[in-house]
């Protein structure tokens, strides 16, 4: 049995979510639970390399953390009920929900889910929700979170401790939301996972590997959430969207690290296992939805159109344009409007796309490089290469991402060459 | 990162105990729920398969199963984990179940890293 640091950390990563959740049920406070879990990890890192990993490592961590909790409570002389609960609890009964919880109308009855709902409480700002979710549910270390978000380690540490303090200050207890609040709370959970995924996905080649790892982490959280609330279509919709998006990860950059647009990606490099999982999750979303389709499921359906097209030329743009029509009607946003214009440009013709683009809220998208980039693509499709080149110039000037700038500059060059094939 | 785990084993003549099957189910469910186990399946006995080999001087040879090896390929699993150690930990738990619950069972699980974007 390997007992090096890596092995201990692997056990920790597998157990930490359940550990924090179980401790939060005992203490009523997710922040305290997270600290107790960290103490248990430190103890494991000290002892396991000497004694070996115990047969039931999760139980060992829980028992160790509980002992610390009891000591802490005794010292602080607070929370009499918690002391009694912990004093009574044996490792075997830790997996059972105590009578107090049984008395609550808990529609799911799942500690991990409660932890997700607590970490993503709408009363917390987004930054805190993200920090707590990563900290409590993925077992990422502070330095790993710092690297992933490109901030110094003390900044990440401060974010986590402030988030835990905010939980206490706002009196956010570790409990299931009532039936009336589940939908809002779940929406917040899905949003946090989506944000974390996109943070990782926006990483560029050459970034620290912890950044793309964020996307992988978010995908695992999406799988966990979908498994925890199987009746909620949007949880499956988000899982589908992230599986399908992640399936293209390897094809997004060329050998030199330059981004490659979807239309030009080498589809042999798309991950077929993730595509298959994404399509399966999409079916589950539709089955659970019973006719109603939410925004994540719609976006997943669009991603599925791309994933199932053997070549770019096979893309069912008419269907994608139709899906964007629904998305733009039910959940309008400037970015959706932009993508919708592009889809109609492909489905109907560049003139239609450009007309829709004129209706896009340019003020809301001021400074967003994708706006001139899409205009450039549509103008190039229409054969108006000279103007297209100017749009690509504008996109290149706007983006703060080096490889993307190179891509837009290249599109500008290509448009100029097409505008003046003689190279005059 | 992605890991392919391939299990080879010598199965005792006794049928697998119900307790083992329940343990495997529970472990698989936990690993799936955690988002770590993303694909797995059992493998039929070698009788159902074949071997295509290229050997010294023999050229290309196709041999139908069964094969007289002591071990049979039993199953495969695909994990999506952040580190090798995590894939090894899930696999260790799976192997420990067999060790604890099926006397006489002997097996070997190979944890193979699947090349991914991080390798290029």
Comparing CB atoms, the residue among B35, B80, B118 nearest residue A209 is B118
Q: How many CB pairs under 8 A join A and B?
A: 62
Question: Where are any strands of DSSP class E within A290-390?
Answer: none
Share of chain B above pLDDT 70, in %: 99
| Higher pLDDT, residue A135 or A26 | A135
Residues 6+ apart with CB under 8 A from A165: A31
Chain length of chain B: 120
Please compute the mean of the pLDDT values over residues A177-181 and round it to a whole number: 90
Binding-face residues of A in 245-304 toward B, CB within 8 A? 249-250, 255, 273, 277
This model's pTM is above 0.85: yes
* Least reliable range by pLDDT among A170-184, A198-212, A328-342: A198-212
Contact A353, A344 (CB under 8 A): yes
By percentage, how much of chain B surpasses pLDDT 90? 86
Tell me the mean pLDDT in the region A322-332: 96
Q: Can you give the pLDDT at residue A73?
A: 67
- The residues near A348 (Cβ < 8 Å, ≥ 6 apart) are A321
pLDDT computed for residue A138 by the predictor: 93
Tell me how far apart the alpha carbons of residues A62 and A67 are, in angstroms, rounded to a whole number.
9
Q: Give the mutation candidate from B4, B28, B34, B118 for the A interface (greatest A CB count, under 10 A).
A: B34
Predicted local confidence at residue A338, as pLDDT? 97
pLDDT value for B68: 80
> With bands split at pLDDT 50, 70 and 90, how would you rate the model's confidence at A95?
very low
A362 compared with A284, residue with greater pLDDT? A284
Rg (CA), chain A: 25
Chain B CB contacts of A2 below 8 Å: 85, 88
- Look up residue A53 and give its DSSP letter: -
Q: What is the distance in angstroms between the Cα of B58 and the nearest Cα belonging to chain A?
A: 34
Q: What is the pLDDT of residue A227?
A: 95
Query: Is A2 touching B (CB cutoff 8 A)?
Result: yes
Q: Give the highest mean pLDDT range of A53-62, A143-152, A202-211, B40-49.
A: B40-49
- Is the C-alpha dihedral spanning A243, A143, A206, B80 positive or negative? negative
Give per-residue pLDDT as tens, A45-57.
999 989 988 988 9
Mean per-residue pLDDT over chain A, rounded: 89
- In this prediction, residue A421 carries a pLDDT of 74
Q: What's residue B87's pLDDT?
A: 98
Q: Which residues are paired to B41 by β-bridges? A: B76
Percentage of residues of chain A with pLDDT beyond 70 = 89
pLDDT of residue A209: 76
User: Can you tell me the mean pLDDT for A28-43?
Assistant: 93
Q: What is the mean pLDDT of chain B?
A: 94
Test mutation, B87, B99, B117, B120, chain A, max A CBs within 10 A: B117
Contact A13 B80 (CB under 8 A): no
Give how far B111 is from chain A: nearest CA, Å.
14
pLDDT for the residue numbered A79: 52
Nearest to A219 by CA among A273, A158, A295, A154: A273
């Amino acid at each position: 049995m390997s007992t090096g640091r890596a092995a201990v950390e692997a056990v920790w990563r597998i157990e930490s979510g359940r550990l924090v959740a179980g401790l939060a049920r005992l203490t009523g406070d997710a922040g305290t639970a997270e600290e107790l879990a960290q103490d248990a990890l430190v103890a494991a890192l000290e002892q396991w390399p000497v004694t070996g990993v115990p047969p039931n490592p999760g139980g060992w961590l829980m028992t160790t953390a509980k002992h610390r909790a009891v000591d802490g409570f005794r010292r602080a002389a607070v929370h009499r009920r918690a002391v009694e609960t912990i004093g009574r609890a044996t490792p075997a009964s830790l997996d059972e929900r105590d009578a107090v919880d049984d008395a609550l109308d808990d529609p799911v009855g799942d500690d991990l889910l409660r932890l997700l709902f607590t970490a993503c409480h709408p009363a917390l700002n987004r930054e805190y929700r993200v920090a707590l979710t990563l900290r409590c549910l993925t077992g990422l270390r502070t330095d790993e979170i710092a690297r992933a978000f490109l901030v110094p380690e003390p900044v990440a540490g401060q974010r986590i401790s402030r988030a835990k303090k905010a939980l206490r200050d706002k009196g956010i207890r570790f409990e299931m939301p009532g039936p009336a609040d589940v939908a809002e709370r779940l929406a917040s959970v899905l949003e946090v996972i989506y944000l974390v995924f996109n943070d990782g996905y926006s990483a560029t080649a050459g970034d620290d590997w912890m950044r793309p790892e964020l996307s992988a982490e978010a995908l695992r959280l999406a799988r966990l959430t979908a498994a925890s609330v199987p009746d909620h279509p949007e949880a499956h919709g988000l899982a589908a969207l992230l599986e399908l998006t992640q399936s293209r990860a390897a094809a997004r950059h060329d050998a030199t690290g330059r981004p490659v647009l979807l239309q030009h990606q080498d589809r042999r490099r798309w991950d077929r296992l993730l595509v298959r999982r994404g399509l399966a999750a999409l079916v589950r979303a539709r089955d659970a939805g019973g006719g109603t389709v939410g925004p994540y499921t719609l976006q997943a359906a669009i991603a599925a159109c791309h994933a199932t097209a053997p070549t770019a030329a096979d893309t069912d743009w008419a269907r994608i344009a139709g899906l964007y029509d629904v998305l733009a009607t039910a959940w309008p946003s400037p970015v959706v409007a932009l993508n919708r214009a592009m889809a109609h440009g492909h489905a109907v013709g560049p003139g239609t796309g450009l007309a829709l683009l004129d209706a896009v809220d340019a003020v809301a998208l001021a400074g967003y490089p994708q706006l001139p980039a899409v205009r450039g693509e549509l103008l190039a499709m229409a054969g108006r290469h000279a103007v297209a080149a100017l749009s690509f110039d504008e996109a290149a000037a706007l983006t703060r991402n080096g490889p993307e700038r190179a891509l837009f500059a290249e599109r500008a060059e290509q448009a100029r060459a097409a505008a003046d094939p003689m190279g005059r | 990162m992605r890991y392919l785990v391939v299990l080879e084993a010598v199965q005792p003549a006794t049928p697998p105990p119900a307790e083992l099957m329940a343990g495997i189910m529970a472990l698989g469910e936990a690993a799936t729920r955690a988002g770590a186990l993303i694909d797995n399946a059992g493998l039929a006995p070698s009788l159902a398969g074949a071997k295509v080999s290229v050997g010294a001087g023999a050229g290309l040879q196709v041999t139908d199963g069964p094969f007289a090896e002591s071990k049979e390929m039993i199953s495969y699993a695909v994990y999506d984990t952040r580190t090798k150690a995590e894939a090894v930990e899930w696999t260790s738990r799976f192997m420990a179940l067999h060790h604890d619950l099926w006397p006489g069972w002997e097996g070997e699980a190979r944890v193979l890293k699947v090349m991914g974007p991080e390798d290029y």
